[in-house]
């Protein structure tokens, strides 16, 4: 531009902004020499008096901090990207003057290597206080909600002076981790923070490009109307709006949206997005538990189970719940109890496996003081403890034969006799039973009484194994991730496609219990917010080499054990894992089936 040409309006605006923000712009020439761009501020001459002679400005030991910063600046100038190197604040104290505070940034603009020096004395204490408060707020966000609100208010105030310095504002917002949108009077998104882009699964590159906030936030009609109404309210009457959003990636979010006026123009709004998804899931999980919906699944097999539970909850008959280990037999029993008229009574669960005759008889029916060695006091049994409620007898197929006789009499007569007593006691208890055995085969072998089987099998529920309802696996994974977020405190939203494929291909011999343990194990190893295939246990990462039909056929129990031993090449530990049971249970069943234990 010729020297006699008047500066244009944009040039005057840039000059005015540089003077307002106290910036000096230097272009690197060579070594430590720089050329001054534009009109230098007066304070630059206090640092380098020789700059008045229009000579190259040499950064030397007069400003040691700035001289040391040149090494970091050189690294930023070498990159082709948008990297900006920051020096941080430093102080200089010219003779007979108050200390002055400065901040430098190094960046590359095309071929030019620029060094921006800002005189920041007025903002030094305020900026330091703001950043410290922001760091404390991130660490103690839940404990210091009021401090969080003050940080947001101060951040909003800072936008008045910092809008034209967009890079600095973006850095501060990113450090705070606040999901923030700036919306103009036409409803267009003028600014979208990196945290907001990650939260909404929106690409951060390129900016919002005038996108309407209704498009960026695909809300339901009631939520959209509520937010539009709150945008019209004065600041003193605004409240947080609770909204549900489904992102482009299909992730469901529950947000609390807070609105603040832009201090420059009340028509422009600043929108803060607070992710309340974990709180929502935790509340929903608690509601489900309170309403006995612990069973998860929408497959046809599970919907039939739900219908059976509703039907059987209306009557008071005994129920036999059958299914493999880990399919959730106790959850079904608890659902029956919660849905029935006995829901206000106790729910007592007893595992019949692994107890001797005397211990199980005493546990079920109670005993009198002195009835056997160690009986130092009268003790009521589980039947009496469950009075008015439900007694759940798990693994009833393992109950000793003589206890079966006593149990049959209790079910027929509705009365128990404590060990060591002769007087029966009336009981009002609904009995629910469960087993992974084929009780009809046990009756044929003589290990289970036929009359007891017919007495407990008035009604029956057959739980499908997980391999027969794999369409429920995504729902179960989502449920277990929600429980893990509440118990472990780790924010893991989803499983990656590769991890989900591995979960869907695995045959799950341990059923839902094994799946839950697998998800808990993977969450421990997960480093991000998504479960990867590498986080899963080794047996899932090896691929679907063991199909359920090849490993454990659907024949009788002896055939399943023989097949598992063959698949494991005689390794008892691996065979027990394939069958989804502990080693102790595996060895006990080997002995009962007359199979070698070594």
Which pLDDT tens digit goes with each residue over 70-128?
Answer: 888 888 888 776 788 888 888 887 776 778 888 898 988 888 888 898 887 666 667 66
The reported pLDDT for the residue numbered 2 is 40
**Ranges of CATH 3.30.450.20 domains, the chain:** 9-119, 178-275
pLDDT of residue 14 exceeding 80, the answer is no
pLDDT of residue 167 exceeding 60, the answer is no
Give mean pLDDT, residues 565-578: 78
For 435, the enclosing helix (H) or strand (E) is strand 430-435
Q: Are 182 and 189 in contact (CB under 8 A)?
A: yes
Give mean pLDDT, residues 51-56: 74
Instruction: Identify the residue with better confidence: 297 or 288.
Output: 297
Q: Please report the sign of the dihedral spanned by the C-alpha atoms of residue 192, residue 195, residue 196, residue 199.
A: positive
Report d(CA 260, CA 554) in Å as an integer. Answer: 64
pLDDT band at residue 292, thresholds of 50, 70 and 90? Answer: very low
Give mean pLDDT, residues 56-75: 87
**Ranges of CATH 3.40.50.300 domains, the chain:** 300-462
Give mean pLDDT, residues 280-308: 69
In CATH, the number for domain 178-275 is 3.30.450.20
Least confident of 3-17, 207-221, 317-331, 499-513: 3-17
The per-residue pLDDT for range 372-428, each reduced to its tens digit, is 666 667 777 888 888 999 999 988 988 888 888 888 888 888 888 887 777 888 989
Report d(CA 406, CA 35) in Å as an integer. Answer: 101
Rounded to 10 degrees, what is the CA torsion of 168, 169, 175, 178?
-170
Alpha helices of 40-87 — where are they, by DSSP H? 42-47, 64-78
Give mean pLDDT, residues 314-336: 92
Report d(CA 246, CA 254) in Å as an integer. Answer: 9
pLDDT of residue 552 exceeding 80, the answer is no
CA 329 to chain centre: 27
For 459, the enclosing helix (H) or strand (E) is strand 459-462
The reported pLDDT for the residue numbered 409 is 87
Report d(CA 383, CA 121) in Å as an integer. Answer: 80
Instruction: Identify the residue with better confidence: 361 or 151.
Output: 361
Domain 468-545 has CATH 1.10.8.60: yes
pLDDT band at residue 170, thresholds of 50, 70 and 90? Answer: low
**Ranges of CATH 1.10.8.60 domains, the chain:** 468-545
Domain 9-119 has CATH 3.20.20.450: no
> Tokens in use for 51?
């700059």
DSSP 8-state secondary structure symbol assigned to residue 305: H
Burial letters for 138-149: b for 16+ Cβ neighbours within 10 Å, e otherwise? eeeeeeeeeebe
Q: Please report the sign of the dihedral spanned by the C-alpha atoms of residue 345, residue 351, residue 355, residue 356.
A: positive
Report d(CA 392, CA 412) in Å as an integer. Answer: 17
pTM of the model: 0.47
> Tokens in use for 53?
């002679």
Q: Are 26 and 107 in contact (CB under 8 A)?
A: no
Rounded to 10 degrees, what is the CA torsion of 10, 14, 17, 21?
170
Which residue in this structure is represented by tokens 């929600």? 482
Report d(CA 316, CA 339) in Å as an integer. Answer: 12
For domain 300-462, give the CATH superfamily: P-loop containing nucleotide triphosphate hydrolases (3.40.50.300)
Max intra-chain CA distance, the chain = 122
Q: Above pLDDT 90, what percent of the chain?
A: 15
Which residue in this structure is represented by tokens 């921006």? 116
For 566, the enclosing helix (H) or strand (E) is helix 557-567
How far apart, in Å, do the first and last CA atoms of the chain sit? 96
pLDDT of residue 299 exceeding 90, the answer is no
Backbone angles phi, psi at 28, to 5 degrees: -70, 130
Burial letters for 451-476: b for 16+ Cβ neighbours within 10 Å, e otherwise? ebbebbeebebebbbbbebeebbeeb
Q: What is the mean pLDDT of the chain?
A: 79
Q: Are 204 and 300 in contact (CB under 8 A)?
A: no
The reported pLDDT for the residue numbered 3 is 44
């Amino acid at each position: 531009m010729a020297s006699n040409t008047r500066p244009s309006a944009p040039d005057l605006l840039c000059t005015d902004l540089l003077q307002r923000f106290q910036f000096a712009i230097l272009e690197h020439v060579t070594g430590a020499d720089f050329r001054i761009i534009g009109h230098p501020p007066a304070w630059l001459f206090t640092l380098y008096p020789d700059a008045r002679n229009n000579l190259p400005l040499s950064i030397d030991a007069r400003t040691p901090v700035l001289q040391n910063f040149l090494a970091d600046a050189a690294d930023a100038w070498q990159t082709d990207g948008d990297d900006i190197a920051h020096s941080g604040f430093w102080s200089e104290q010219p003779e007979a003057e108050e200390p002055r505070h400065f901040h430098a940034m190094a960046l590359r603009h095309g071929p030019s290597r620029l060094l921006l020096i800002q005189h920041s004395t007025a903002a030094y204490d305020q900026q330091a206080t703001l950043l410290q408060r922001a760091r404390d707020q991130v660490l103690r966000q839940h404990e210091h909600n009021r401090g969080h609100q003050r940080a947001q208010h101060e951040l909003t105030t800072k936008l008045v002076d910092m809008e034209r310095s967009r890079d600095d504002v973006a850095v501060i917002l990113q450090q705070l981790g606040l999901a923030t949108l700036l919306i103009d009077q036409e409803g267009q998104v003028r600014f979208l923070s990196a945290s907001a882009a990650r939260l909404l699964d929106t690409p951060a590159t390129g900016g919002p490009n005038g996108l309407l906030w209704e498009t960026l936030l695909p809300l339901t009609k009631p939520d959209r109307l509520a937010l539009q109404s709150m945008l019209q309210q004065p600041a003193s009457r605004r409240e947080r709006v609770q909204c549900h959003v489904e992102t482009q990636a299909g992730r469901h979010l529950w947000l609390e949206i807070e609105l603040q006026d832009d201090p420059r123009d009340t028509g422009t709004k600043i929108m803060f997005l607070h992710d309340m998804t974990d709180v929502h899931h935790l509340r929903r999980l608690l509601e489900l538990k309170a309403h006995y919906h612990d069973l998860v699944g929408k497959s046809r097999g599970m919907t039939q189970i739900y219908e059976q539970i509703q039907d059987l909850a209306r009557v008071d008959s005994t129920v036999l719940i059958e299914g493999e280990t880990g399919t959730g037999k106790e959850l079904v029993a608890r659902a029956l109890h919660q849905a029935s008229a006995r829901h206000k009574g106790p729910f007592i669960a007893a595992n019949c496996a692994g107890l001797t005759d005397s211990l199980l008889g005493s546990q079920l029916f109670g005993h009198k003081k002195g009835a056997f060695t160690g009986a130092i006091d009268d003790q009521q049994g589980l039947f009496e403890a469950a009075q008015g409620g439900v007694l759940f007898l798990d693994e009833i197929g393992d109950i000793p034969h003589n206890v079966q006789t006593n149990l049959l009499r209790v079910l027929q007569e509705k009365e128990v006799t404590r060990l060591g007593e002769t007087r029966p006691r009336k009981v009002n208890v609904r009995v629910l039973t469960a087993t992974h055995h084929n009780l009809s085969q046990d009756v044929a072998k003589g290990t289970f009484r036929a009359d007891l089987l017919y007495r407990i099998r008035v009604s029956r529920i057959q739980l499908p194994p997980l391999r027969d309802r794999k369409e429920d696996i995504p729902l179960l994974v989502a449920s277990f991730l929600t429980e893990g977020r509440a118990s472990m405190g780790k924010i893991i939203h989803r499983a990656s496609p590769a991890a989900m494929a591995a979960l869907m291909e695995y045959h799950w011999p341990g059923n839902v219990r094994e799946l839950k343990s697998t998800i808990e194990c993977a969450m421990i190893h997960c480093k991000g917010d998504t479960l990867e295939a590498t986080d899963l246990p080794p047996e899932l990462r090896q691929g679907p080499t063991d199909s359920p039909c090849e490993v454990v056929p659907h024949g009788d129990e002896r055939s399943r054990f023989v097949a598992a031993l063959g698949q494991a090449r005689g390794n008892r530990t691996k065979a027990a894992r394939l069958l989804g049971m502990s080693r102790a249970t595996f060895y006990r069943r080997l002995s009962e089936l007359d199979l070698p234990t070594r």
